Structure 1
């Protein structure tokens, strides 16, 4: 089961009646994209852009705003073209005031809009932290369920881009610790589209953590099929929200990762396979709610686990994952669960970043330390 959080959703936790009524409109708005169907090379940046555009086509209450997201299309060009397509009343720039951006989004969400806001960089979001913790996370509970806050706060986060101070950080634990917030972090192009659509549909506030180093990663993705999948889920009132995924099957040990660490875990599993060791990789996808069932099923099968994350190890999401797995899988474990994380220091300068980030060698060293019998 997932940790208890204050939400306003039904059993599947994410599909609003307004979104359901907009399903037919969404299908119609996507017809002009029919020529683009079929697997094509798509970046995560493009998938996120398409998700916002499709949501805006489907529902007039969806709007996008933040610093430089309008005519510039965002620092990472994730909102490129949205102002041209939907006009400056649907996608617009704001002053450099993160607290004001979030505060305005709270008021809009309380009054029937579905704002999608961008924090530009992870460490830029801290001036808005009071708004997020005191208002975004608590409004539904404070009003005994009378007020919903259907809003998405997009946060480009983590490292791997050589960013200078205040431009790279791993802030997910702050939000995961705050009851009342959902916390999503996609690691694949398809999940970027799928999970952002689900976040926008949610009647609860979502911290949408986007691994900035993966923005230009490419997969063969059928956006048309993803649109059809989303429309079908809306019609059925279902989704993949809160579900982890088996990114690579294995039998000897489980690597548990999320967001930017998933490709690193997959690379470590591929390297281990060359040495004759089979590692299963679990992509957590949703930090809150957390999918104990999928994660623990894998650990019970393999008997060994390593949790991988770029964030600091102390008092972190990786700490919580270890605790949850240990509580549920204790009698199945052949060795203590290990972690491979960023070091407990301020995020380093660009030239030192590669020493800080978890890498394949550190992961394989942790796997080797899982008390294997010779």
Structure 2
């Protein structure tokens, strides 16, 4: 009998070994860590974004991305809505391009249309990153195009460096502004072996998350030139995002930022090893076969309910939690889960992971 979501969450908490993600304390422990960090760094609250903590961190992110300025946003949804509104308004054209699996299309309740009255045009193939040829194939004019690095819904795929540079050149030639959905940009630099500024060059604006990868409670940064950022702050205020105190979210990001950024190359190397160990299982497909970030998808030759029940049984038996949500895919009888390789996996060798997955597939055998 399948467990309820609450039972599954309780089971996960009881497992000493959890494969995906980072090892973080509970809420009380995290608040204590943050209080200690704020005390050690003499942190004071901002007032509506004014104050050294927020403004200093904005300058730091802008410098890292090679942009003149950046502004904090309480959510990535707000950051990207502001960006596309600015670029479509500037072009006097209410139409923008986005990847078919863009977060804006699938996770934001069509906010760009409902709130901004904008038209989003799918660009490219949902199974791979956007390319120059994809952009050139769009016949209608576009004010801007959103490029997601990496493509989460396709297993964390990234274009090659040459493909990315070609896309930037195609956008310049066509006069299309590029905006980066860099929710997982921090995870991309190890693949390219380039700085964040080099990757962001050619993008007029960049959104980066402060909780995905970095581990803040919430929040994002939106970077670009001074005029763009001033306009973004105006839209933040209009959308109710200029909060009285932003310091809790910013401090939570700043507290972990250096450590998490420094860890990304090791996490990428661990993702490569992890994927290599799993590719030998005949009922499992790794997408992409060779990861391009410390994010990848595992495809099972079994339906989602059966995979989750086997995972739960293994967790009860071996006190190991292999993955989180599993969903069915277009092919009947097959399913997929996402693995984010965080610091938890650094302490576990491939032999143990391989043995656990072997047991999982035994449990998946038809009765």
TM-score clears 0.5 = no
- Greater relative CO (CA pairs within 8 A, separation 6+): 2
Interval containing the TM-score (normalised by the shorter chain): 0.3 to 0.5
Larger Rg, first or second structure (1 or 2): 2
